Structure 1
Amino acid sequence: MNSAHSSSRPDDDPWVFSTRELARRPGTQRTVVRTVPAPSGEREIGLAGVITVPGGSDVELDLSLESVTEGVYVSGTADARLVGECSRCLDAVGEDVHVRIGELFAYPDSVTEETTDADEIPRLVDDRIDITQTVRDAIVTDLPMAPLCRDDCPGLCTECGERWADLPSDHGHETLDPRWAALRERLPSTE
């Protein structure tokens, strides 16, 4: 193997699994339990700027790889920690996510591979599967679109931007009709 490619071999990627021992024998199965680092940058899992699985944090995988007629069916679970900010008060939020995975990876030259687009069903490449996109899809569809620190979060005061939870119950802002503002400046203060 070319040494320039040795550091980027698929075997070095913890998200890539070899299926060689399944040998295209339908019914052959293996279980994989692995902790992998969450991808970062463009491959980050989540909604950028809202809630994500931080790059490098642990993603726990508990998977079954089963050889079927048309490919390898991957099923199991993925667990990760999400972090982001509350959509109402902007406080930091964190929550654990547990998702189920079920995805067929088509064999090269199978009927499934020939009759579906590449973006519909993932493919085996050199007897390997990369489950990054499968896990990303499962987690993203389970994300809250507007994460909250708590269900009854009152958010921020629209006038001063302070958290309502930190403000006294009688908090308010005097709004003066702009037509009277000039008159108020001319009158002596009664305070």
Structure 2
Amino acid sequence: MSTQPNPWLFSTRELGRRPGIMRTATRTIPAPGSDVPDAAIGIPGILAVPPGSDIALDLRFESVSEGVYVSGTASAHLAGECSRCLDDLSEDVVERIEELFAYPDSLTEETTDADEIPRVTDDNVDLEQTVRDAIALDLPLAPLCREDCPGLCPECGERRADLGPDHRHETLDPRWAALRERLT
């Protein structure tokens, strides 16, 4: 069992359930590591936040009548491979965070399912799932190194970007292959 404090946990105690009270926070958190199964943010090998790389949070916590409204940004570096040419790719993303964490015994908590909206627990909000969702849900299904990536040649498997414009493969109808062997 780890004795390390949870870096995704933010205290809301100083907001005191008084609507209109606001505070800001910035924090840099290492991305979940490869030592935890299914902990990666994204799809490893396709496009994901590399384990241990920094996720920078710039947040605002605002007390509202039903809970704590968290807004701000999460910045991370992504690494993966192009879905057409299989080259390595990397990019930096800045995702918007906007989430209401319901107070215990609030009307919002009573009228929503437990998995529908996050909750304030022991005067803390846990932002891991919120940040994970913000980054992962905005990832492309088929990442590209560039919009016009030509991909790989289906015949030889070479990158089309490296091949000349006159690159071609002779295609012979298999029905004529036996005749060609006799003539050569």
Cα distance in 1 between the residues matched to 2:62 and 2:22? 4
Deviations 1:61-110 (A, max 9, x none): 00011111111110111111111111110101111111111101011111
Q: How many residues align?
A: 181
- SS across alignment from 2:108: helix
What's the CA shift for 1:143?
1.4
Partner of 2:25: 32
- Which of 131, 136, 140 aligns to 1:140? It is 136
1:22 aligns with 2:15: yes
Cα distance in 2 between the residues matched to 1:27 and 1:39? 33
What's the CA shift for 1:35?
0.5
Letter in 2 for 1:174: E
Letter in 1 for 2:16: A
- SS across alignment from 1:148: coil
> TM-score, with normalisation over the residues of structure 2?
0.92
In structure 1, stretches of 5+ residues that fail to align are: none
Partner of 2:112: 116
- SS across alignment from 1:179: helix
1:181 aligns with 2:174: no
Cα distance in 1 between the residues matched to 2:48 and 2:157? 25
1:91 aligns with 2:93: no
Q: Which has the higher helix share?
A: 1
Task: Answer with 133-142 or 75-84: which moved more.
Answer: 133-142
User: What's the Cα RMSD here?
Assistant: 1.5
Letter in 1 for 2:179: L
1:50 aligns with 2:46: yes
Partner of 1:74: 70
